[in-house]
């Protein structure tokens, strides 16, 4: 039984590092956590896990003032699932404007997610402090799932 699914897209690896730390933080909550790189995964292969998860966390860099293309596709495919009432969170690395996470936040709200925190944004590569914030976000999601 999967509790939390963390999905992300990354080109130069920064959002990927954040995603790993978010997943580690959620696993500290002793939940079953899955991590998927959207550029290397096929939606249909983990669709069932998305449906059974209590929380879905989405990571995206900002590219040309928008979320990554794979994240856009993922969000539209999630519209075919019943995700209403699940917990959600958003994170991502950016360079200068960083609006992609807010776009994803809005779309997840429209899908009926209950977002557990404001989007976590980090400029370029996360440092130790940034990774700690990512683990904290994962743990916050885990606590919600456990009803704490």
Q: Which residues bind ligand FMN (CB under 6 A)?
A: 10-16, 61-65, 93-98, 124
| Shortest distance in whole angstroms from residue 59 CB to ligand FMN | 8
Tokens for 139? 């743990």
| Shortest distance in whole angstroms from residue 76 CB to ligand FMN | 21
If the CB atoms of residues 19 and 50 are measured against ligand FMN, the closer one turns out to be: 19
| Shortest distance in whole angstroms from residue 111 CB to ligand FMN | 23
DSSP 44-102: HHHHHHHHH-SEEEEE--EETTEE-HHHHHHHHHHTTS--TT-EEEEEEEESS---HHH
- For the chain, give me the number of helices (H) and strands (E)? 5, 8
A 10 A CB-CB count for 62 gives 22
| Shortest distance in whole angstroms from residue 94 CB to ligand FMN | 4
If the CB atoms of residues 15 and 88 are measured against ligand FMN, the closer one turns out to be: 15
If the CB atoms of residues 32 and 37 are measured against ligand FMN, the closer one turns out to be: 37
At 37 the three-state DSSP class reads strand
If the CB atoms of residues 87 and 94 are measured against ligand FMN, the closer one turns out to be: 94
If the CB atoms of residues 16 and 29 are measured against ligand FMN, the closer one turns out to be: 16
| Shortest distance in whole angstroms from residue 70 CB to ligand FMN | 11
In whole angstroms, give the CA distance from residue 25 to residue 21. 6
């Amino acid at each position: 039984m999967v509790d939390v699914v963390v999905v992300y897209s990354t080109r130069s690896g920064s959002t990927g590092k954040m995603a790993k730390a978010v997943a580690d933080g959620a696993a500290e909550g002793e939940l079953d956590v899955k991590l998927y790189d959207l550029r290397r995964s096929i939606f249909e292969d983990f669709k069932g896990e998305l449906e059974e998860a209590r929380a879905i966390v989405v990571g995206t860099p900002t590219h040309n003032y928008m979320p990554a293309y794979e994240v856009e596709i993922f969000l539209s495919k999630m519209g075919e699932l019943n995700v209403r009432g699940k917990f959600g969170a958003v994170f991502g690395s950016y360079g200068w404007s960083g609006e992609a996470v807010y776009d994803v936040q809005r779309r997840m709200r429209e899908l009926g997610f209950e977002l557990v925190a404001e989007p976590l944004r980090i400029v370029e590569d996360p440092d130790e402090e940034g990774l700690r914030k990512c683990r904290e976000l994962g743990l916050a999601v885990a606590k919600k799932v456990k009803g704490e």
